[in-house]
Amino acid sequence: MITGPKYKIARRLGAPIFEKTQTQKFKLSEEKRAKAKGRGKKPSTTNFAIQLKEKQKARFTYGVSEKQFRNYVKKILDTKIANPQEKLYESIETRLDNVVYRIGLGSTRSFTRQLVSHGHVLVNGKKTGIPSYTVQIGDIISIRPGSKVKPVFKDVEENAKAKEYPLWIAYEAGKKEWKVQGIPKSEGQNLLFDLDLVIQYYKR
C-alpha cells in the first residue's frame, strides 16, 4: 500500500502512526513545530473531519487499503453485533501480517507483510503467503525451515526470551513457534485512534 511521505502523513493526522515516527526525535521535532506556530486560535473542525482523521489513523497504523478496511467494517456492521468497535479491533489485530509483527519477527508491519508474502511464515505447518489471512485460536505460527538460516531470523530465540507478548499469543520456547491462545481485546490498549469514531464514520 502506497502511503506517501510517512512523516508528513503522521504530522497531518497528529499521531505517530508509523513505527519510524514513534521515536523521541520525531516527538521533539513535533513539539518544536507546535511551539513555533504558537497557540493561535484553532480552526473549527466538523464531526465528519474528526471521524475521517480517526479512520485514517487506524488504517495507516495497520497498513490496510481503504477497500480492505471498508470491507472489514461493512461485514461487521452487516452482522449488527452489539459491539462493532471490538470486533473491528479483533479483525485488524488477527491479520497474519500484524500477528507476525506482534511476535517480533519484524520491526514494522510493512516488513512483516513482506515476510508473509515471500513465504517465510507458516500457519499450522503450511505456507500462507496472504498478509490479510485471519488467524484463529489454536493456530501455530512458525518460520519456514528453509528460512530459519536467514539473518533476519538469527536472533529469534534470544529476542523471544526478552519480549513481552500480548496475552492472546504464547511463545513455545525451544520450538520457535507461537500459538494463538485467545482473542485480542482493545481494553487497556493505548490506541492511537478512536474506534467509536471509526465506526461512526462508516455509519454515515
| pLDDT for 54 | 96
- Residue 175's pLDDT is what? 86
- 5-9, 22-26, 88-92: segment of lowest average pLDDT: 22-26
* Local structure of 165: helix, strand or coil: coil
- Per CATH, domain 6-86+193-203 is 1.10.260: no
Question: Which pLDDT belongs to residue 134?
Answer: 98
pLDDT, mean of residues 31-41 = 62
- DSSP sequence for 34-84: HHHH-SPPPPP--HHHHHHHHHHHHHHHHT--HHHHHHHHHHHHHHT-S-H
Residue range 45-57, pLDDT digits in tens: 899 999 999 999 9
Q: Name the residue ranges covered by the structural domains of the chain.
A: 6-86+193-203, 95-180
The residue to which cell 456492521 is assigned: 77
pLDDT for the residue numbered 180: 98
Would you place residue 99 in the very low, low, confident or very high pLDDT band (cuts 50, 70, 90)?
very high
Q: What is the mean pLDDT of the chain?
A: 89
pTM of the model: 0.84
Percent of the chain with pLDDT strictly greater than 90: 70
- Which pLDDT band holds residue 34 (cuts at 50, 70, 90)? low
pLDDT tens string 167-204: 999 998 888 899 999 999 999 999 999 999 999 999 98
Q: Which residue has the higher pLDDT, 161 or 146?
A: 146
pLDDT of residue 157: 87
H-helix or E-strand spanning residue 178: strand 177-180
More confident call, 155 vs 92: 92
pLDDT higher than threshold 60 for residue 44: no
Nearest C-alpha neighbor of 157 from the set 182, 175, 169: 175
What is the structure's pLDDT at 91?
97
Assign domain 95-180 to a CATH class: alpha beta
| Whether the predicted pLDDT of 39 surpasses 60 | no
- What's at 48, amino acid-wise? F
Answer yes or no: is pLDDT of 7 > 70.
no
Q: Is the pLDDT reported for residue 102 higher than 80?
A: yes
